[in-house]
Structure 1
Amino acid sequence: MITRPPLHWFRMLFVLRGSVLPKIAPQLITITLFAALITTFHGRIGDWKVSLNFVPFSLIGLTLAIFLGFRNSTSYARFWEGRTLWGSVLNEARSLTRQALTLGADPRDARQLAYRLCAFVHALRHQLRGSDAWPDVAPFLDQADAARLKAARFNPAIALLMAGEWVGERLRAGQLAPPLAQSMEMSLNQLSTALGGCERLAGTPIPFTYSVIIHRCIYLYCMLLPFGLLDSIGLMTPVIVCFIAYTFFALEALSAEIEEPFGEEPNDLALAAMSYMIESTVLEMIGEAPKSAAPAHRDFIQT
């Protein structure tokens, strides 16, 4: 995820990093060249003059705008839900660590809980991205926990189970008061809810048919547009077609990018930076420095 301080309006016109222009440039160039070719031949395909005006394009453009608006709203809702879920992970990890430190019988025992919470966070990130969690998880686990987690299929769920076992063991040993254990269990339930929500987003994309309909309509619209504009604006047809095509292609590409908020595209959620921040704040509470290296080009993250 790329976040920046506000840029000058002129610099904003030429920003490439974080924009979708590099991704859509081939299609945009193709459509513009096609429009230039149509303009050169005055809208003729052989001996046939394609006679169109702007009226049907106004109607179709309105329909496309509605479809694109729905698609972008849905994609952004998924993106924001993912960010909200990770914000709740941060809040509950802090709450659990604070309660273990301030209300437990021995604050030194909070170290194991904090480590298991850090393991949960890193395991969750890697599960969502389909990558190997072991290098980031191993520093937080003893030999027994490491063997147990390594054999598991769903690492975040097992890490969360181990955090719950910590609470249960202290409750049975009389080191946690029952009301405190109940409060901590509520935080663990919130982490479980966040885990399930992230898995739901990662495993349930927007129905493919929406993407197909919008994609086909956009390309057909942009391919036919030069014929409708040529008689009205003449040599400016390729320029206007390029501008309109950029609008449609960019919105489609952006919605496809943020539809899967846990990916590694420039505009996806900065899971590495968020995991590092959660680890840093939890370990700082127990008086330790982060064990993971700070992500390169770390983003500015707010809850």
Structure 2
Amino acid sequence: MITRPQNPSVWVLLFSLKGSIIPVIWRKVLFTMFISTVVVATHGTLYHYKVVLTATPFTLWGLTLAIFLGFRNTVAYQRFWEARTLWGELLIVSRNLTRQLVSFMPGLARSERLALAHTLIGFGYALRDHLRREPSSDDVARLLDPEAAATLEGKQNLPNALLGLLGKRVVDRAQQAGTSDIVQVEMDQQLTRLSYVLAGCERIAYTPIPYPYILMLHRVVHIYCFLLPFCLVNSIGAFTPFAVGVLAYTFFGLDALGDQISDPFDTQPNDLPLNALCRTLEISVLELLEEPAPAPPQAEDGVLL
């Protein structure tokens, strides 16, 4: 996730590359401007044939394309925001469970309380790795005790297995502490909410926007930008590459931005900062237990991962 000042200057807004989509699309934009320059140099002639294109079809085509790009980006942002909402739910439930451990099991030994807390924190890190399709990280390994590591060895869905282990441990410790059935039900409901978070994140991660829809948009955007110089060369002449570059930046940028935020769990600059969210979860849980907590996450070169 890009970190930025609340009130950026006009210079930053117009010329900053950090957080911009330009690093992703600049090759396409320059290639389109190069084609426009060739069209201007040849006066729109292709193999001794004068290509004449009027503005009317491009106006209708551009309007339709803008509507489709806007709709796709709206769907992509809905996926992004739902993913952020689910991770916010994960943080809320983790704090609730930790608070309940402290309030309803005051006699629980420090080692047992830490084991439960580490399992809960490990669920967050395991979910991050699972959504990014990465192997289990060192963050998960440092939090799991030998018994938990042996129980989870070979599991394909590690966060789901961790959630099952956490449920068993919470019930066992609650029964040992003599907590009432009502409290146990309430804690189980919190664990059920974690299951919903896991399933919701998996739905987003493993159900992409239909590929034919994306493929059609990619093709139409490229064809539109490559044919546009033949429409403009007779009316604006040498300014054609500049005008085409601006339109190409707009359409290619919207297309690329939709691609990025449609998969919010990736590690691109505009995706969710799952590393930072996991660290925030760890800090929240450990501070509620009055245990030493790691330092807050810091952005690197303006990017929070």
TM-score, structure 2 normalization: 0.94
Q: Tell me how far apart the structure 2 counterparts of residues 139 and 30 of structure 1 sit (CA, whole Å).
A: 49
Partner in structure 1 of residue 31 of structure 2:
30
RMSD over aligned Cα atoms: 1.9
Q: Deviations over 1:251-291 (max 9, x none)?
A: 00000011110001110100001001101111111122236
Give the CA deviation at 1:299. 7.7
What residue ranges of structure 1 are gaps of 5+ in the alignment?
Answer: none
Give 1:231's match in structure 2, choosing from 234, 255, 260. Answer: 234
Partner in structure 1 of residue 292 of structure 2:
289
- The answer as to whether partners of 2:105 and 2:177 remain within 8 angstroms in 1 is no
Q: 167-176 vs 134-143, which deviates more?
A: 167-176
Partner in structure 2 of residue 51 of structure 1:
52
Give the CA deviation at 1:84. 0.5
Q: Tell me how far apart the structure 1 counterparts of residues 215 and 248 of structure 2 sit (CA, whole Å).
A: 17
What is the identity, as a one-letter code, of the residue corresponding to 2:205?
A
Q: Matches of residues 225-264 of structure 1 in structure 2 within 5 Å? A: 225-264=228-267
Q: Tell me how far apart the structure 2 counterparts of residues 223 and 298 of structure 1 sit (CA, whole Å).
A: 35
Q: Tell me how far apart the structure 2 counterparts of residues 184 and 298 of structure 1 sit (CA, whole Å).
A: 40
Partner in structure 2 of residue 210 of structure 1:
213
Q: Tell me how far apart the structure 1 counterparts of residues 63 and 147 of structure 2 sit (CA, whole Å).
A: 61
How many residue pairs are counted as aligned between the two chains?
301
- The answer as to whether partners of 1:71 and 1:255 remain within 8 angstroms in 2 is yes
Runs of 4+ in 1 over 2 A off after TM superposition: 107-112, 170-175, 289-301
Q: Against the structure 1 CA distance between its residues 298 and 192, is the aligned structure 2 distance closer, same or farther, given a 3 Å change threshold? A: farther
Give the CA deviation at 1:297. 2.3
Give the CA deviation at 1:143. 1.1
Partner in structure 2 of residue 172 of structure 1:
175
Give the CA deviation at 1:103. 1.8
Question: What is the SS of the residue equivalent to 1:13?
Answer: helix
Give the CA deviation at 1:171. 3.7
What is the identity, as a one-letter code, of the residue corresponding to 1:278?
L
Partner in structure 1 of residue 9 of structure 2:
8
What is the identity, as a one-letter code, of the residue corresponding to 2:201?
C
- The answer as to whether partners of 1:36 and 1:238 remain within 8 angstroms in 2 is yes
Q: Tell me how far apart the structure 2 counterparts of residues 110 and 177 of structure 1 sit (CA, whole Å).
A: 18
- The answer as to whether partners of 2:280 and 2:296 remain within 8 angstroms in 1 is no
The reply on whether 1:123 has 2:126 as its aligned counterpart is yes
Q: Tell me how far apart the structure 2 counterparts of residues 298 and 285 of structure 1 sit (CA, whole Å).
A: 31
Q: Against the structure 1 CA distance between its residues 60 and 259, is the aligned structure 2 distance closer, same or farther, given a 3 Å change threshold? A: same
Partner in structure 2 of residue 159 of structure 1:
162
Q: Tell me how far apart the structure 1 counterparts of residues 281 and 301 of structure 2 sit (CA, whole Å).
A: 13
- The answer as to whether partners of 1:170 and 1:176 remain within 8 angstroms in 2 is no
Give the CA deviation at 1:300. 9.4
Q: Against the structure 1 CA distance between its residues 299 and 41, is the aligned structure 2 distance closer, same or farther, given a 3 Å change threshold? A: closer
Give the CA deviation at 1:47. 2.1
Q: Against the structure 1 CA distance between its residues 293 and 94, is the aligned structure 2 distance closer, same or farther, given a 3 Å change threshold? A: closer
Q: 10-19 vs 68-77, which deviates more?
A: 10-19
- The answer as to whether partners of 2:221 and 2:251 remain within 8 angstroms in 1 is yes
Q: Against the structure 1 CA distance between its residues 298 and 16, is the aligned structure 2 distance closer, same or farther, given a 3 Å change threshold? A: closer
Q: Against the structure 1 CA distance between its residues 160 and 121, is the aligned structure 2 distance closer, same or farther, given a 3 Å change threshold? A: same
Give the CA deviation at 1:9. 1.8
Q: Against the structure 1 CA distance between its residues 298 and 80, is the aligned structure 2 distance closer, same or farther, given a 3 Å change threshold? A: farther
What residue ranges of structure 2 are gaps of 5+ in the alignment?
Answer: none
Give the CA deviation at 1:110. 3.0
Q: Deviations over 1:94-142 (max 9, x none)?
A: 0000011012242544322211101101110011112222411122222
